[in-house]
Amino acid sequence: MNYYSLNKQAPNVSFKEATILGQAPDKGLYFPSNIPMLDQQLISCMNDYSKEDLAFRVMQPYIGNDIDEASLFTIVSEAINFDFPLVDINSNIASLELFHGPTLAFKDVGARFMSRCLGYFSKDRSNTITVLVATSGDTGGAVANGFLGVEGVDVIILYPSGKVSPVQELQLTTCGQNITALEIEGSFDDCQSMVKEAFMDEVLRKKMQLTSANSINIARWLPQQLYYFYAYQQWADKFNPPVIAVPSGNFGNICAGLLAQVSGLPIKHFIAACNINDAVPDYLRTGRYQSKLAVPTVSNAMDVGDPSNFIRILELFKQEFTTIKDCISGYTVSDETTKETIANVYQQYQYILDPHGAVAYHALDQYLNNYLSQKGIILETAHPVKFPATVEAAIGRSIEIPESAKSLLGKGKISIKMPANFNALKEYLISR
């Protein structure tokens, strides 16, 4: 499998090269040269496969010969070695819980997969690979955990000061070893902009091997397809595929789901569920895309005004607006509605949503009101304990803290404060 830059001004590369580079030299995102089509036998007999076998079969065509089959099976097995239960909330809506990994967030899969791929590739390299990543919340913790102690790889995480939850901040600032947290005095979009500039800076590119662990990196993005296979594997009515609502910020998750659908996975329709940072729902309403300045919300992982992965969605559907609109509906959900949804779902069904899941739930509920014969799934992307102030106020009680989070409490964060300025980041990287 080869990968090409969406800016079309850089050479095609292998999976290995695309993973190490992160972003193409012409500033474009990498995209697979062809979409592998699923074997119909795999779809019809999906329940006969283990999670590990299914993950291997889905991912292998994207990796090709860059990783031998035995090593790839080990990598995918370690990336998905926790549960992905599909839990009924009511008779029409189920929740695919993606928060049972080590950092209680869906990004654990991609971060673990990518870290193990880079560890595999770094064995034959003499220089250290530096992973530079921006986070709006969950990416940072997942990347820190996934890469902790990986030989030949240093990780530098940029996060917006005061705009991530307490648990999220502890997850990315308390690791030590090869993990460094930079606390940026700005927004997530500022962090992401600084990272993108670093990749394009000639001085930095000559001094160090930089790559990204955001979903702009194919090794972080592609494994997110697996969520949708595990959802369908557990879906009871195979003759009536689900509508799937995805909490969407940088649009890597929903883009991976669309990739799975295009490759042949039966999914009825997608819902891009956004908070008021809704550049893509606006596009779906008007046909015109316009980035926005990010606005802080209670669903902070979706506070993205210019989602990087939207260009991959455009590429996947060959820029055809009508086709995109047929596959995706966009919804905008306010903070007030998000909080009301958490409260109402808990009161009616005793199910606790996190703010991102609540955005997805409200959007899916609104959609199903117009399509009464259909049923759907929300992706519950983070454990509610990551957002205690919002969730506990809505449900009227405290949330039980999972064991994996208890160990963080009482730890002191270690971060380096930095202005939202690329030159400050460049000076720091050169001086390391």
Q: For 225-258, how does the pLDDT look when each residue is reduced to its tens digit (9 = 90+)? A: 999 999 999 999 999 999 999 999 999 999 999 9
Largest CA distance in the chain: 61
pTM value?
A: 0.90
pLDDT over 80 (residue 196): yes
Mean pLDDT, all residues of the chain: 93
Token pair of 2 as six digits = 């080869």
Mean pLDDT of 266-295: 95
Domains of the chain by range and CATH?
Answer: 84-105+221-403 (3.40.50.1100)
pLDDT at 34: 95
pLDDT at 227: 97
Element (H, E) at 56: helix 51-63
Mean pLDDT of 149-178: 89
Token pair of 221 as six digits = 């993005």
Determine the straight-line distance between the first and last CA of the chain, rounded to whole angstroms.
35
Q: Could you write out the DSSP letters of every residue in 178-192?
A: TEEEEEEES-HHHHH
Residue 284 CA from chain centroid, whole number: 21
Q: Closest Cα partner for 112 from 101, 125, 123, 104?
A: 101
pLDDT over 80 (residue 103): yes
Strands 376-380 and 328-332: unpaired
| Burial of 189 from C-beta contacts in 10 A (0-12 / 13-18 / 19+) | buried
- In the residue annotation, 107 being an active-site residue is answered as yes
Q: How far apart are CA 151 and CA 118, in angstroms?
A: 9
Of the listed ranges 62-71, 75-84, 94-103, 399-408, the one predicted with least confidence: 399-408
pLDDT at 368: 98
Task: Please pick, among 107, 163, 196, 386, the residue that the annotation labels catalytic.
Answer: 107
Contact 120, 67 (CB under 8 A): yes
> Can you list the alpha helix ranges (DSSP code H) found in 122-251?
138-147, 166-173, 188-200, 202-207, 218-221, 225-234
The residue length of the chain stands at 432
Q: Greater confidence, 55 or 137?
A: 55
